[in-house]
Structure 1
């Protein structure tokens, strides 16, 4: 059974971000390793979807997944009287956020910043033994140089409100960590579909490039090369690597108090990334030099005409930051968990896009 009216053992894990793309995969992994029962905080609008996902993961008559309707934007997560039922919770995973490069400031601050503060308050009220927080590498903003787990407050500018509010949220988590909250922070890079199946829930980020090229003739597809693109890296990781790493690291006591960047230690340059996508879809691609301002206006027009385009992604084609993950590499040494090179699974991503044209660029928050 899945629901907040179930009997049996009380939940020992609380997770936000279900039934989102990473949340579903992580709940599945936690069940495999015997954690739980797991209480999943679910917005009312996603209740039906959450029930379907819970039944798929645990079975219709299994109560290892308990759904609690609430909202991280509300104090106490909107749980009201249900919070008392969660007193046995020992571990809290916070994944819920707005993942949208073009998000407006108000919803980004409500969900990513104040929402994280509300989840932190609940973690302290429940006196959890572990707080597992999913941040992003892009708390770096447009930091000019190599950004590691040791970096955070560097006076960096930001590309958008998503980056800024995720930065502010991680600052809040690190402040609580410094005050004694037993927390671990994970910073995934740009996360795409599964490297084995290609599965994803939305086509955003690098998928805009893939879909834009596929919408053009295979004999000649055109894209823009921005000044500085040749020296910029596009750091992409598949979902299964992110989940494998969080699964392993979250189960270890010695990772408490640590920050882990889940990035590709050898990412492709932007031109090499475009070439890899072009090869996978079988298109001849011509990269035409252009300015960011002109290209942004062209993408605005293209998007208005229904072409898969998001002007906010342009900022990542001349991104000055390079990501290193020495802490993660030390912690995962000898485990067999490592980020595969993009070229090894780009064909799988492309095949999923071909077979699933109904997926779009929208997803739950």
Structure 2
């Protein structure tokens, strides 16, 4: 049977790159891409770009106008019947990833949207695999070792992004009871380890934006925490996801796509300083002081950094990835070391730091 891949989250960066890898693996595959009506024109351009780059032909891609938050994903009944027989793999990537997102928006997209996708998946007659993109940070404010088998342990959450992704994963965990489901929990995603390419300057890129604002002054460390920060390049996420989508029963479960050997946040910050502005920090400011400053809207907008980012540089969680390493290691898929790709990441940032499409609007 020909593979038919159903995606939410297109024309997003990760979805587009996953599709490229899937076409390389299976040139005869077809793609059913659920797209919000507001994104249809952008999606049409994205498909043309994929085909122009040699990723498939226009006939392999179908854009479906729909909405994950609506009943039956707002797909017409007649076409929904066709999908029930045709779809073999579902990749659910659509979500609100903004750390500063209001609760009502996050809940509608991340929780209700996942609930509706789950109902759709249950209708499929030839499902081989559902891949759900969660996050390692469903662990919330827990500290210490976090296992792939753990989820509901009474944790609190640093923001509405975390809490709604946690609620969404609870829904998908229920699907695991009788469906072939893979839950992906990435760490903080960086750009491509070989090219530096990324779609948005968020996460650790906020550090680069902060340094842009103060590069002419002596640079501080932010806090004295010994916490480690878990960064993973996008190409590792892609390679792991495509492998797991075709790995059969051993892919049933939850996988931390995290760095098994993460560096201290202080060391990561220092290396970014050296690569971006050519000097090391020479003194330390309390993290609470920076957090208070970022509570002031004018300062936050000046440095272009979200307040919620600071918490991830003092996160005391350690993400065990034993199962991911076991399954992926057998296929030769490993997370690249941070120091092997940070120069590429900074070079890409330097080349595109003024691109408005890559900027996160900080309010």
TM-score after normalising by structure 1: 0.91
Q: Contact 1:16/1:96 (CA < 8 Å) preserved in 2? A: yes
- Summarize the Cα distance change of 1:284–1:30 in structure 2 as closer, same or farther, 3 Å threshold: same
* Number of the residue aligned with 1:164: 163
* Number of the residue aligned with 1:253: 248
Q: Contact 2:193/2:233 (CA < 8 Å) preserved in 1? A: yes
* Number of the residue aligned with 2:154: 155
1:316 aligned to which of 305, 312, 315? 312
1:332-356 CA deviation, whole Å, 9 max, x = no partner?
1242211111111111111111111
TM-score after normalising by structure 2: 0.91
Q: 1:326 offset after TM fit, Å?
A: 0.2
Matches within 5 A, 1:206-355: 206-218=204-216, 220-225=218-223, 229-230=225-226, 232-281=227-276, 282-292=278-288, 294-301=289-296, 303-355=299-351
Q: Distance in 1 between matches of 2:64 and 2:140?
A: 34
Residue 186 of structure 1: SS of its match in structure 2?
A: strand
How large is the Cα RMSD of the aligned pairs? 2.0
Residue 22 of structure 1 pairs with residue 20 of structure 2? no
Residue 306 of structure 1: SS of its match in structure 2?
A: helix
Which segments of 5 or more consecutive residues in structure 1 lack a partner in the other structure? 1-8
Q: 1:11 offset after TM fit, Å?
A: 7.5
Q: 1:303 offset after TM fit, Å?
A: 4.1
Q: 1:118 offset after TM fit, Å?
A: 0.3
Q: 1:212 offset after TM fit, Å?
A: 0.8
1:195-240 CA deviation, whole Å, 9 max, x = no partner?
11111111111111112113223562234215xx22x111000000
* Number of the residue aligned with 1:361: 359
Residue 149 of structure 1: SS of its match in structure 2?
A: coil
* Number of the residue aligned with 1:47: 40
Q: 1:31 offset after TM fit, Å?
A: 1.3
* Number of the residue aligned with 1:4: none
* Number of the residue aligned with 1:3: none
Farther-moved stretch of structure 1 (119-128 vs 280-289):
280-289
Residue 56 of structure 1 pairs with residue 49 of structure 2? yes
Q: Distance in 1 between matches of 2:13 and 2:57?
A: 23
Q: 1:80 offset after TM fit, Å?
A: 2.4
Q: Contact 2:134/2:183 (CA < 8 Å) preserved in 1? A: yes
Residue 85 of structure 1 pairs with residue 82 of structure 2? yes
Farther-moved stretch of structure 1 (164-173 vs 78-87):
78-87
Q: 1:51 offset after TM fit, Å?
A: 1.1
Q: Distance in 1 between matches of 2:215 and 2:181?
A: 50
Q: 1:291 offset after TM fit, Å?
A: 4.7
Q: Contact 2:133/2:184 (CA < 8 Å) preserved in 1? A: yes
Q: Contact 1:12/1:90 (CA < 8 Å) preserved in 2? A: yes
Residue 187 of structure 1 pairs with residue 189 of structure 2? no
Q: Contact 2:137/2:162 (CA < 8 Å) preserved in 1? A: yes
1:45-98 CA deviation, whole Å, 9 max, x = no partner?
111111111112124962111111111111111112331231211111111111
